[in-house]
Each structure stands twice: as structure tokens, then as C-alpha cells.
Structure 1
Amino acid sequence: MYRTLVALALILCAGTSHAEMALRDGWAVTPTTKSYDILIDDVKKAAKANKMGVVTQAGPTGAAANRGITIPGNRVIGLFNNLYAVEVLSLSTAAMIEAPIRIYVTENEDETATLSYKLPSTVFAPYIAEAGPELERIAGELDAIFADISAQATQQH
């Protein structure tokens, strides 16, 4: 019986081309009705409106397409502001490894897209004991900024 259940689970998983993002502790996950490309553009606009720079972008979708492989849209967009970078660095050299904070845009099977990110307070939590309450304050401010970016990027036009 156990082997049959395992085999059935493997067959079901193999038939799924990709899984949609699920809510995780310390993450914000917002499914949208927007397309992947539109959501990426809207994230960039919302970041700029909230005085956050697009520092990095990466994703396997384009490189896979160049190899003849089709995969769902998948983009990580790193956002930060130098004012926060200088503040964080003054508190903890180690914490700067976490900058930029990343937003993750994934394409869903129904051609909509989901915006996900780890909360900045989650990202910086391991460094707060070392850096103190100032880093916790900064992480809280960044939580609010990223919530605003997410709300603006995911709202319908």
C-alpha cells in the first residue's frame, strides 16, 4: 500500500510543470491577476515610487529559452537604497550580505503572476542581537516600504 501511495504521489508531482508559491513563515506572498511581464514592470515602478533602487535582477527563464527550454517566468529583483545600506553597514558588516532585499516574481500556470518576498525583518533577524535595536528599527521601516511596494505593484490598474 505504501509503495502504491508513493508511486501515485510521484506520478502526480511529475505531471505538474511548476508549483505556485505558497505562504511561508516570514514571507509575504501575493497572487495577482497580472501577467508576469506586467508585474515585473509594476514592481520596478513601485520600487522607484518608494525611493528604492533596482540593484540586481536575475532569473533562469531567458537563459533557458536561449537553450531551447521553456520554463515559467521566474525573476528575482533586488531592491535597496544607499541610505539604508550605509545605516546597516554602520551597525553590522555581516548584515550587509542580505542587501539588496529581493522580490520574487513567478509566473503561474494560468499565466498570472505572484509577487513574493522575505520580510526585511525576517532577513535581518539573525543580526539584531549583534547590531541592536537600530537594525530592528531599520528592518521595520523596510517592512513598511516593501509592503507599500507590494501593494502598489499588485493593485489592478
Structure 2
Amino acid sequence: MHKLISAGLLGCALLATASASAQDTIPTVGPQDGWAVHDSDKLYQELVDDVKAAAENSELGVVTEAGPTQAAADRGIEIPGNRVIGLFNNDYAVRILQVSTAAMIEAPIRMYVTEAPDGTATLSYKLPTYVYEPYREEGGEALATAAEELETDFAAVAAAALE
């Protein structure tokens, strides 16, 4: 019986150590080519909520949302907050499809909220002009214009969320 209890306690200790080390070893997002990366003083959940509210009050809307944090917690693994929020709108979808069917694989474009060890969060996203660059030859100036407009919309959402 004591061996069973000892093994159980050891398992719990190992799981706690694995959880702590997983949280400590996951890096935050830093500068990346073609990305906008904004550190903030906001707490993780506050920034997630503010990104969604800013998107709903913009030309864009929240189309998708996903993250591994809760699923990991359900498995007993603690990782920092991590949320991907896909933003787009139907006007952009129609315009992009008119010039490049292949480019639509990139929709929605995502904003990424990551939690730092101190509980604050970083907001990052790939710049739409960077995302659509591989399709530029096919989509031409119309795709470039849509990407530039999307970039303006994303910057506005980011600015509002970070206020």
C-alpha cells in the first residue's frame, strides 16, 4: 500500500514539475519578419477580450478562435495563455476570390495573444501584405490593394485592443 501511495505522490510531483517546466520553457513571441508584435501591460484574458471587442467594432469580425491552453489544463498540463483569433469579412473574401482562389487559403488572417510569465500579454499577427505576397503575381494590383486595406484594418484593431 505504501508503495502505491509513494508511486502516486511521485507521479503527482513529476506532473507538477512537467507542468511548471512547460510554462517556463514556452517562449513568448518576439520580432519576426513580416509580423507586427506588440507587448502590452494588459493581462492575458483582458487582451483576448479587447481584441475580440475591437474586431467587432471594426470592418472585420471574429471568424475563428482557438488555443491549446484549456485543453492542456484539462489534461493536467499548465501552459501560458495562448489564443489565436481569426479576423476577416465577406467583402475581402469576395474581392480576393475574384483575383486569386489560391490566396483564400490564408483567410482568416489571425491575431495571436500570448501570455508572458508575469501574466501580461503580447499581441502579434502576420502583416496581411506579407501573408498575401506569395499570391501577388496571380492576384495583381487588386490583391495588393486588398492586402494593404486589410493591413490598415488589422493595425486599427490592434491599436484599439491595446488602448
TM-score w.r.t. the length of structure 1 is 0.88
Matches of 1:20 and 1:128, distance apart in 2: 31
SS of the residue corresponding to residue 77 of structure 1 reads strand
Matches of 1:59 and 1:20, distance apart in 2: 15
Matches of 2:91 and 2:25, distance apart in 1: 41
Q: Does the 8 Å CA contact 1:52/1:79 hold for their aligned counterparts?
A: yes
Give 2:31's aligned residue.
23
Matches of 2:90 and 2:136, distance apart in 1: 20
Give 1:59's aligned residue.
67
> What RMSD, in angstroms, separates the aligned Cα atoms of the two structures?
1.5
Higher-helix-fraction structure: 2
Larger radius of gyration: 2
Query: Which runs of 5 or more structure 1 residues have no equivalent in the other structure?
Result: 1-12
2:94 is equivalent to residue 86 of structure 1: yes
The amino acid across from 1:32 in the alignment is: S
Query: Which runs of 5 or more structure 2 residues have no equivalent in the other structure?
Result: 1-20
Q: CA deviation at 1:16?
A: 4.1
SS of the residue corresponding to residue 31 of structure 1 reads strand
Q: Does the 8 Å CA contact 1:18/1:109 hold for their aligned counterparts?
A: no
Give 2:124's aligned residue.
116
Q: CA deviation at 1:18?
A: 2.2
Matches of 1:131 and 1:20, distance apart in 2: 34
- Aligned in 2, Cα 1:91/1:154: closer, same or farther, shift over 3 Å? same
- Aligned in 2, Cα 1:136/1:70: closer, same or farther, shift over 3 Å? same
Give 2:5's aligned residue.
none
- Aligned in 2, Cα 1:14/1:93: closer, same or farther, shift over 3 Å? closer
Matches of 2:78 and 2:144, distance apart in 1: 41
SS of the residue corresponding to residue 34 of structure 1 reads strand
Give 1:8's aligned residue.
none
Give 1:35's aligned residue.
43
Q: CA deviation at 1:55?
A: 0.6
SS of the residue corresponding to residue 68 of structure 1 reads coil
The amino acid across from 1:96 in the alignment is: M
Superimposed CA distance per residue, residues 127-149 of structure 1 (whole angstroms, 9 cap, x where no aligned partner): 01111001000000011110011
